[in-house]
Amino acid sequence: MPRDSEKADVILHAGKVLTVDADDSIEHAVAIRGDSVQAVGSDQDVLALAGPDTKTIDLRGKTVIPGIIDIHAHMDREGLKRINPSLEGATSIPEILSIIEQQVAQKRPGEWVVTMPVGEPPNYADVPESLKERRFPNRWDLDKVSPNNPVYIRGIWTPWNVPPSVAIANSAALQLAGIDRHTQSPDSSVTIEHDDDGEPTGIFVDTGRFPSVEFTLMKVVPRFTHQQRVAALKESMRLYNAVGTTGTYEGHGVAPEVMRAYKEVWDAREMTVRAHLVLSPGWKTVAQAAQEMERWAHSASGWGFGDSMLHVSGYYIHYRGSEYTARARTAELPFTGWAGFAQGYNPPARFRRLVKLAAQHKLRVNTIVADCLAEVLEVFKDVHREIPIDKERWMIGHVIETSSEQLQLIRELGLIIETIPLTHLWLRGNRFLEEPEAANQAVAHRDYLDQGVNFGLGTDNKPYSPFPTIWAAIARQERTTKKVLGPTQIITRMEALKAITMGGAYFCFEENNRGSLEGGKLADLAVLSDDYLSVPEDEIPELNSVLTMLGGQVVHSSGDI
């Protein structure tokens, strides 16, 4: 019998514990001591670890999983979305105006009213067609309810759906921004819409991959403050905990203004999600990059520095991109808007030099390869010949189509793959409807498993719940037709769960410390609202957590157990 000093602090029993260990074991109970899992097993064996001070939780048959580790989280954004009023549910221009009129009534004359985009979150799809008028409201519509207050309806952050991003300003906002019939567009990717008389309608159409209107024409719009970012980050963590997320990896990079918010929350010991951050550089030249890497190499190299709650390592280095977008957005740093990262422009030759510099300093490289995988792999392969990177876990994100030969190279280079199945299969999968061969190479989870390639699943914060993402990896359905895309790439529920738990831990160099429920690992777990393994497939996206624990401490409880 264990001595009292060895008794468990907390025991969860009478449940279904998906351990996600090497054998995918399913047990009934978990014992927690301190911040770690003490034991996992049968009710009888685990309850034997109970002492007079042990707290026992009767799961009443509920399913327990390891805490989710979202490897493309953009966690800082979710709380920010709640700062501005939502237009969710408005299906006509009068309904949009009614919401804005209510906001104006709460403001003094001259105060700004800034709302979220037209359409339904998180993707804002099918607008303006989803509105009764099948058009966006214009400045004159907005003027009817706000003649004395500047109004700005934000455009979507285009990764939430696809370009364009359509933003709308009323007359007062246009006047403050100095925009009239003579104002020229800053770039061919931005259209200032005009009426038949040549007057601006207040509608801006931005076709850039990352919108720039608030960095150029509408710089006058109020920006997120540091205090708002800190409050929003705490709110984001609360929301992420409520869906079972206990860890994130921010491979797209985190800019200084967001890093500062994380540090403040960490200083206050108020973090409830373990965050592994990647640096987002604001350098403009290779010489500046060399200086910055030299400064960061002692701390951000390898698996980085930090503690179990906040860790920093490596760089996000963008391949190609838009020179205009990078210039426009960089000019306004430290402000990054929705992005939370600085925007780079790196033609192939510069990218190659930056990547080699990073390798020399043992700084892990993260980059997005949705439309440039072959080119990036060629660069990584060349760098590897001079400076081995196969132990460094360089990350390639938003991976879509891959060939068998590319996967072999990815494995040889020790790269890790990040996929966003909800985006590339469900939201934007219509491109594969008539291309079954391409669909069978897209987000190819089965091929990754068969070829021994390490990968994880990310939400990209659209939505922040991991369960629609998990469902997309299992079902592989396209949004408008429900057609299954690439059925040979379907993975099981357990395989998908492992990809978003153990897969995420591997991204963070933490596979020996978390990602599964095994003795000695951190006690990060979620008790689910329904049985993940048996709930009907189309109900998986609705799952959430009724109890979430981080290091054995409750960070979310719905009161259901």
Quote the CA–CA distance of 342 and 214 in Å, as a whole number.
14
pLDDT, mean of residues 393-416: 98
Quote the CA–CA distance of 441 and 419 in Å, as a whole number.
13
Roughly how many angstroms between the first and final C-alpha of the chain, as a whole number? Answer: 29
pLDDT, mean of residues 376-385: 98
Quote the CA–CA distance of 19 and 532 in Å, as a whole number.
13
347 to each of 301, 352, 456, how far by Cα in Å?
24, 9, 28
Confirm if 26 and 477 have CB atoms less than 8 A apart: no
- Residues of the chain above pLDDT 70, percent: 99
Confirm if 339 and 329 have CB atoms less than 8 A apart: yes
Q: What structural domains does the chain harbor?
A: 84-215 (no CATH), 226-554 (3.20.20.140)
pLDDT, mean of residues 474-502: 98
Largest Cα–Cα distance of the chain, in whole Å? 88
- Residue 265, pLDDT > 60, answer yes
Separation of CA 245 from chain center: 12
Residues 6+ positions from 200 with CB-CB distance below 8 Å = 139, 174, 179, 180, 181, 183, 192, 193, 194
Residue owning tokens 């939505």: 463
Residue type at 298? H
Q: In what side-by-side order are the strands of the sheet with 26-27?
A: 26-27, 16-18, 63-66, 525-528, 545-550, 553-557
Average pLDDT taken over every residue of the chain: 97
What would the pLDDT profile of 11-42 be if each residue is shown by its tens digit?
A: 999 999 999 999 999 999 999 999 999 999 99
Burial class, 54, CB count within 10 angstroms (exposed 0-12 / middle 13-18 / buried 19+): middle
pLDDT, mean of residues 302-326: 96
Confirm if 247 and 525 have CB atoms less than 8 A apart: no
DSSP helix/strand/coil, 503 = helix
Q: Are strands 395-397 and 416-419 parallel, antiparallel or unpaired?
A: parallel
pLDDT, mean of residues 102-120: 97
Element (H, E) at 93: helix 93-105
pLDDT category of residue 561 using cuts at 50, 70 and 90: confident
What secondary structure letter does DSSP report for 131?
S
pLDDT at 560: 87
Strands, E, within 388-535: which ranges?
395-397, 416-419, 455-457, 525-528
pLDDT category of residue 328 using cuts at 50, 70 and 90: very high
Q: 171 phi and psi, to 5 degrees?
A: -65, -40
Angle among Cα 129, 134, 139 to the nearest 5 degrees reads 120
Quote the CA–CA distance of 443 and 378 in Å, as a whole number.
20
> 3-state secondary structure string, 275-318?
EEEEECCCCCCHHHHHHHHHHHHHHHCCCCEECCCEEEEEEECC
pLDDT at 475: 98
- The structure tokens listed for 400 are 């879509």
Q: 532 phi and psi, to 5 degrees?
A: -55, -35
pLDDT category of residue 4 using cuts at 50, 70 and 90: low
DSSP helix/strand/coil, 234 = helix
pLDDT at 505: 98
pLDDT at 2: 54
310 to each of 121, 220, 276, how far by Cα in Å?
29, 34, 6
- CA atoms within 13 Å, Cβ hemisphere of 25: 14
Residue owning tokens 């990040």: 418
